[in-house]
């Protein structure tokens, strides 16, 4: 019998981790990615990767890491897989170290660790301020090694369109589109692993990369895969607003004494340095005298949101506040913060040592995702998922530096389980549904290219982003969420009149984008409607109308299934596995 | 007062075989614009400066933070990343062209897969035994890490190859980026077991002797990687390897 063939979709950390495990165990892999895998979004991670190695004599343990993660996620994560991740993390760091990741070192040549949010321990290994890039490269190099041995075949510049499902609704491969020739082809496989990242594009501008649209997750959602905890979206308090995207500004700026403020008077047009101290509103310091600018992420994010949208005090009427470092001497800034200051300088053109940075919370991370079981398999047999595209490790709020470890751990679980599944799979009847799926996709393409109307997909997308950012990020009201959902329905209606200005069949990026946009619209309803149903506040999901966590009703995983009806997805709720740590109130104003 | 605008001239080519044409665009100026946001604006309203309807520009991009290496192109004649090219700092009209040394796909998109093939050729990886738990990696002192880390920051943008006079079809030169990766892996405590193979891969045609020391690579590198240092270090090692191989017969 031929070696089982596994398809991995997405070449970020989770996808590459799965590829390596499968190739190592003797399977063969077809790896699909929109971009060359070395350009995947994992490169954007900066701060580091968590593992309780206890190399600083603090008595850190994997049990502490587990507790911090569950507590940080406001008890929404299933505890069994999180426990396994935290226990597996130290070996992952060792492996990355052996692969040659240039981690920062202690004078003795050991791994150095730093502090991060949501913990009291030095638990974060790091490679300068580009940890994600360095980790991705290490895995990319190992995959290139397997590629040169013929165990992995890369399809870079191909976009996943859908799973091929047989008559029993089990996966038999994928349909994908060549982004140069625009040709749709069926690729048979014995199992499929999705590792397609976050959904930032649904919010228009985010800290995510261009490819993070959630299109693949939405496609399988529309084919019957559950989408879980869609309403949980992490908004980072300090990002640099840009015309094209939001770029992250690390929390360490505030750690070194950075102060957040706006002019007290709405519409104040004076330059910042002509506003006297008495007319500056240091709102975090006033509202949270104990923690000041170093309140936890979700608190800081909500406060900034309130200042801008409720009090109307954003700078120049724009959604921005100052993050001010100008009172700190240059030498200190250069010594401690140079890397991130250079990012600001390069992209904004101002020197943050001389003028305050203008920052605003930015959509950053997708806690929810494709529903998977503890083996990383979805409810559709043969479709697995790993990394940010699935829901299982971060509950209602992700802790910093836990994303990289969850990607690699999830990939390491998904890869061998997909291989095991593939080995036990009985042969497909006929072509397993391949021809029918390709025909369905070609029909969609044909219709889209010939469509007549007056709607531009990029403009529809902007409207989606504005609505989702306004109503479905930091502060949520049922009325606003309802408006957002109505807007999505309007956009879905207008999508029927989408007219591509480019109707060619060669490297047609607006065509590929229009297909992604449809999937974004369908998936965004799991966020708006899921948030409407969850009448409580938990982690990143905050509703002023129900400001408390309600374990009795909502200590539950939200599971959405696609219906195709105007009413939207069908929702059900699944009990959370809390067998190891009893849920307790989450507060960061005192030691837990 | 007239509204402030941004003028762009973009070299368009519908396919590798199609003729190249220049299109002009005039967009409303907005603070903080970069070349990418200008092209996003064109996608949302694909009309030329003359008011003629056209198509959105095809170009590579992903992270938009100068870390994924996707959006390299010629901007006012200079090879650089479009995401970090702020409109404010550019002379107008801003001229956008595809990189010239790589096969053109469409508009500003080119095929740079040659770099990834080169990385295979020099075995740019650490040959680990396996992914199971084998304990901690080798000790690496901070002084060594400070040499490795900058080399490991290479984003594979290929700007160094674009500006190299020796990088062309005639020489088949691998280019500075690949040579810097050879230095990185040859210096790693485990990676160095493949050192001889890597050096031999750079010894023949298209190898390190093709370098003409123009030093354009180090000037254009958006990550300030010490490329010329890497070339001279690896060049010396290749020479030593050649002598060793000759003596061994």
Task: Look over chain A and give the mean of its residue pLDDT values, rounded to a whole number.
Answer: 94
3-state class of A11 per DSSP? coil
Q: Which residues of A are catalytic?
A: 297
Cα–Cα distance between B139 and A246 in angstroms, integer?
A: 38
Query: Percent of chain A having pLDDT more than 70?
Result: 97
Mean pLDDT calculated for residue range B20-29: 98
Judged by a CB distance cut-off of 8 A, whether residue B48 touches chain A is no
Selected residue of B39, B48, B62, B187 to mutate for chain A interface (largest A Cβ count, 10 A): B62
Q: Which of B130, B133, B149 sits opposite A102 (nearest CB)?
A: B149
Say whether residue A40 is in contact with chain B using an 8 A CB cutoff.
yes
> For an interface test with A, which of B86, B131, B144 has the most A Cβ atoms less than 10 Å from its Cβ?
B131
Which uninterrupted H or E stretch holds A537? Answer: none
Answer whether residue B1 shows pLDDT above 60: no
Q: Write out the DSSP string of A556-568.
A: EEEEEE---STT-
B14 interfaces chain A, CB cutoff of 8 Å: yes
Let me know: does B228 contact B217? Beta carbons within 8 Å.
Answer: yes
Q: Enumerate the residues of chain B whose CB falls inside 8 A of the CB of residue A103.
A: 145
Contact flag B142-A137 (C-beta cutoff 8 Å): no
Model confidence at A592: pLDDT above 90: no
Chain B residues in contact with A245 by the CB 8 A cut-off are: 64-65
pLDDT attached to residue A111: 96
Task: Place A488 in a pLDDT band, splitting at 50, 70 and 90.
Answer: very high
The beta strand positions in chain B, using DSSP E, are: 5-12, 21-28, 72-75, 78-81, 94-97, 104-106, 109-110
From chain B, the residues in CB contact with A35 under 8 A are 60, 62, 68, 70
In this prediction, residue A57 carries a pLDDT of 94
pLDDT tens digits for B84-137? 999 999 999 999 999 999 999 999 999 999 999 999 999 999 999 999 999 999
Nearest CA of chain B to the CA of A469: how many Å? 19
Sheet holding A570-575, edge to edge: A369-370, A227-228, A556-561, A570-575
If residue A371 lies in a helix (H) or strand (E), which one and from where to where? none
Please tell me the distance in Å from A203's CA to the nearest CA on chain B: 16
How near does any CA of chain B get to the CA of A431, in Å?
A: 33
- Mean pLDDT value across residues A59-68: 97
> Is residue A1's pLDDT more than 60?
no
- In sequence order, what are the residues at sequence separation of 6 or more whose Cβ sits closer than 8 angstroms to the Cβ of residue A1? none
Structure tokens, A309 = 């949208």
pLDDT digits 0-9 by tens, B42-54: 999 999 999 999 9
Tell whether B204 is within 8 A of chain A (Cβ).
no
User: Which candidate in A21, A84, A89, A99 is best for mutational testing of the B interface (most B CBs within 10 A)?
Assistant: A99
Model confidence at A336, pLDDT cuts 50, 70, 90, reads low
Judge whether B67 is closer than 8 Å to chain A, CB to CB.
yes
CA distance A286 to chain B (A): 31
User: Chain-centre distance of CA A147, in angstroms?
Assistant: 28
B160-196: pLDDT as tens digits = 999 999 999 999 999 999 999 999 999 999 999 999 9
148-187 in chain B: CB under 8 A from chain A: 148-149, 152-153, 155-156, 185
The residues near B169 (Cβ < 8 Å, ≥ 6 apart) are none
Residues 307-366 on A with a CB inside 8 Å of B are 343, 346-349
Residue A345 confidence (pLDDT) above 90: no
> Span A40-64, mean pLDDT?
94
Chains A, B: CB pairs < 8 Å: 196
* Local confidence band at A121 (pLDDT 50, 70, 90 cut-offs): confident
- Tokens matching residue A482: 């309802």
Contact residues on chain A for B63, CB-CB shorter than 8 A: 39, 41, 43-44, 209-210
Per-residue pLDDT at A251: 75
In chain B, whose CA is at the least distance from the CA of A200? B63
- Whole-angstrom distance, CA of residue A415 vs CA of residue A421: 10
- Subunit contact A106:B131, Cβ cutoff 8 A: no
What is the value of pTM for the model shown? 0.95
Of A214-223, A316-325, A347-356, B142-151, highest mean pLDDT: A214-223
Q: How far is B247 from chain A (nearest CA, A)?
A: 31
- For residue B2, name the pLDDT band (cuts at 50, 70, 90): low
Contact A560, A491 (CB under 8 A): no
> What is the token pair recorded at A425?
């799979």
Q: Which of B152, B181, B185 is the best substitution to test chain A (most A C-beta atoms within 10 A)?
A: B152
Backbone angles phi, psi at A82, to 5 degrees: -65, -40
CB-nearest to B145 from A35, A105, A180 is A105
Arithmetic mean of pLDDT, A436-463: 97
Task: Indicate which of A152, A243, A357, A412 best probes the interface with B, i.e. most B CBs within 10 Å of its own CB.
Answer: A243
CB contacts of B156 in chain A (<8 Å) are: 36, 38-39
Q: What digits encode the pLDDT tens for the residues A532-548?
A: 999 999 999 999 999 99
Average pLDDT, chain B: 96
Spatial separation of the C-alpha atoms in residues A568 and A528, rounded to whole Å: 10
List the single residue in A36, A94, A133 with the smallest CB-CB distance to B116: A36
pLDDT at residue number A400: 84
- Write the DSSP assignment of A202-243 as a string of letters: GGSS-SS-TT---HHHHHHHHTT--EE-TT-EEEEEEEEE-S
Check whether B6 has a pLDDT greater than 60.
yes
Please state the rounded mean pLDDT for residues A202-218. Answer: 97
The angle that helices A478-495 and A457-471 make with each other, rounded to 10 degrees, is: 170
Instruction: Read off the pLDDT band of A399 (50, 70, 90).
Output: confident
Chain A contact for B25, CB < 8 A? Answer: no
pLDDT band at A349 (very low <50, low <70, confident <90, very high): confident
**Residue A337 reports pLDDT greater than 70:** no
Please tell me the number of Cα atoms within 13 Å of B102 on its side-chain side.
27
Contact A27, A414 (CB under 8 A): no
Q: So what's the pLDDT on residue A331?
A: 75
Distances (CA, A) of A112 to A49, A333, B153: 11, 21, 19
Query: Can you tell me whether residue A173 is helix, strand or coil?
Result: strand
Question: Can you say whether the dihedral through the CA atoms of A95, A96, A102, A103 is positive or negative?
Answer: negative
How far is residue A427's CA from residue A418's CA, in Å, rounded to a whole number? 16
CB-CB: which of A20, A349, A456 is closest to B86? Answer: A349
Q: Is the pLDDT of residue A511 over 90?
A: yes
| Gap between the Cα atoms of B57 and B79, Å rounded | 18
**Contact: A243, B30; criterion CB under 8 Å:** yes
Residue A73: alpha-carbon gap to chain centroid: 15
Query: Is the confidence at residue A468, as pLDDT, over 80?
Result: yes
Cβ within 8 Å, pair B140-A105: yes
Residues 128-147, chain B, touching A (beta carbon < 8 A): 128, 130-131, 133-142, 145
Only one residue has tokens 């940075």, namely A357
Is the Cβ of B13 closer than 8 Å to some Cβ of chain A? no
- Chain A stretch 124-143, residues whose beta carbon is closer than 8 A to a beta carbon of chain B: 127-128, 130, 133-134, 137-138, 141-142
d(CA B107, CA B56): 10
- Main-chain phi, psi angles of A194, to 5 degrees: -90, 130
Instruction: Give the pLDDT mean for A481-508.
Output: 97
Taking only residues 170 to 199 of chain A, the set having a beta carbon closer than 8 angstroms to any beta carbon of chain B reads 180
Q: What is the pLDDT of residue A588?
A: 67
Distance from CA of A86 to the nearest CA of B (A): 15
CB contact under 8 A, B86 and A347: yes
Instruction: Decide if B133 contacts A92 (C-beta within 8 A).
Output: no
**How far off is chain A from B246, nearest CA to CA, in Å?**
28
Does A422 score more than 90 pLDDT? yes
Nearest residue, CB atoms, A144 vs list B59, B113, B119: B119
């Amino acid at each position: 019998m031929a070696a089982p063939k596994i398809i991995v979709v997405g070449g970020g950390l989770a996808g590459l981790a799965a590829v390596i495990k499968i190739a190592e165990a003797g399977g063969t892999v077809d790896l699909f990615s929109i971009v060359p895998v070395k350009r995947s979004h994992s490169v954007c991670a900066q701060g580091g990767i968590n593992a309780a190695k206890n190399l600083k004599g603090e008595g850190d343990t994997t049990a502490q890491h587990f507790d911090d993660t569950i507590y940080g996620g406001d008890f929404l994560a299933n505890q069994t897989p999180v426990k396994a991740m935290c226990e597996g993390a130290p070996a992952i760091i060792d492996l990355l170290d052996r692969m040659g990741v240039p981690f920062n070192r202690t004078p003795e040549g050991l791994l150095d660790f730093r502090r991060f949010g949501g913990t009291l321990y030095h638990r974060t290994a790091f490679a300068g301020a580009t940890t994600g890039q360095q980790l991705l490269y290490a895995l990319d190099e190992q995959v290139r090694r397997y590629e040169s041995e013929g165990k992995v075949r890369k399809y870079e510049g191909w976009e996943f369109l859908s799973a091929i499902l047989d008559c029993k609704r089990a996966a038999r491969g994928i349909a994908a589109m060549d982004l140069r020739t625009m040709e749709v082809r069926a690729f048979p496989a014995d199992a499929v692993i999705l590792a397609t990242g976050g959904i930032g594009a649904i919010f228009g501008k985010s800290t995510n990369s261009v490819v993070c649209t959630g299109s693949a997750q939405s496609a399988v959602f529309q084919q019957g895969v559950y989408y879980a905890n869609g309403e949980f979206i992490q908004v980072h308090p300090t990002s640099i607003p840009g015309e094209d995207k939001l770029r992250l500004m690390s929390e360490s700026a505030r750690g070194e004494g950075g102060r957040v403020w706006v002019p007290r008077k709405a519409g104040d047009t004076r330059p910042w340095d002509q506003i006297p101290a008495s007319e500056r509103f240091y709102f975090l310091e006033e509202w949270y005298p104990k923690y000041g600018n170093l309140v936890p992420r979700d608190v800081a994010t909500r406060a900034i949101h309130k200042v801008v949208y409720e009090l109307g005090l954003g700078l120049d009427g724009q959604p921005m506040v100052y993050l001010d470092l100008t009172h700190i001497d240059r030498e200190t800034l250069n010594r401690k913060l140079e890397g991130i200051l250079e990012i600001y300088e390069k992209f904004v053109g101002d020197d943050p040592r001389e003028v305050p940075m203008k920052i605003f919370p930015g959509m950053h991370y997708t806690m929810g995702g494709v529903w998977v079981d503890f083996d990383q398999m979805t409810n559709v047999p043969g479709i697995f998922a790993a990394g940010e595209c699935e829901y299982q490790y971060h509950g209602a709020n992700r802790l910093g530096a836990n994303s990289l470890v969850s990607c690699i751990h999830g990939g390491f679980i998904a890869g061998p389980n997909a291989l095991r599944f593939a080995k036990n799979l009985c042969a497909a009847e006929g072509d397993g549904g391949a021809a029918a799926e390709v025909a369905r996709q070609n029909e969609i393409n044909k219709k889209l290219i010939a469509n007549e109307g007056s709607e531009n997909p990029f403009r529809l997308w902007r409207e989606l982003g504005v609505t989702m950012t306004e109503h479905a990020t930091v502060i949520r009201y049922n009325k606003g969420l309802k408006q957002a959902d109505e807007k999505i329905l309007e956009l879905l209606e207008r999508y029927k009149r989408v007219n591509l200005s480019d109707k060619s069949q060669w490297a047609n990026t607006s065509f590929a984008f229009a297909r992604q946009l449809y999937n974004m619209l369908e998936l965004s309803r799991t966020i708006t409607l899921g948030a409407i149903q969850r009448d409580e506040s938990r982690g990143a999901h905050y509703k002023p109308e129900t400001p408390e966590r309600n374990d009795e009703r909502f200590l539950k995983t939200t599971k959405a299934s696609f219906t195709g009806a105007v009413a939207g997805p069908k929702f059900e709720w699944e009990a959370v596995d809390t067998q190891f740590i009893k849920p307790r109130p989450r507060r960061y104003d005192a030691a837990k | 007062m007239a509204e402030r605008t941004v003028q762009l001239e973009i070299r368009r080519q519908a396919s590798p075989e199609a003729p190249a044409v220049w299109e002009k665009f005039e967009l409303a100026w907005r603070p903080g614009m970069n070349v990418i946001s200008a092209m996003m604006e064109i996608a949302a309203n694909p009309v030329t400066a003359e008011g003629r309807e056209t198509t959105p520009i095809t170009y590579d991009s992903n992270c938009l933070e100068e870390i994924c290496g996707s959006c390299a192109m010629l901007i006012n004649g200079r090879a650089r990343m479009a995401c970090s090219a702020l409109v404010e700092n550019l002379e107008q009209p801003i001229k956008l062209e595809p990189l010239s040394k790589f096969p053109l796909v469409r508009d500003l998109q080119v095929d740079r897969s040659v770099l990834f093939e080169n990385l295979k050729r020099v075995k740019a990886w650490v040959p680990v035994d396996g992914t199971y738990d084998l304990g901690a990696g080798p000790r690496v002192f901070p002084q060594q890490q400070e040499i490795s880390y900058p080399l490991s920051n290479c984003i594979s943008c290929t700007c160094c190859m674009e500006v190299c006079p020796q990088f062309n079809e005639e020489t088949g030169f691998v280019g500075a980026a690949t040579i810097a990766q050879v230095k990185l892996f040859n210096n790693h405590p485990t990676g160095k077991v493949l050192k001889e193979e890597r050096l031999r891969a750079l010894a023949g045609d298209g190898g390190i002797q093709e370098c003409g020391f123009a030093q354009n690579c180090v000037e254009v590198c958006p990550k300030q990687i010490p490329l010329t240092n890497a070339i001279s270090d690896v060049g010396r090692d290749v020479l030593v390897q050649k002598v060793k191989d000759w003596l061994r017969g």
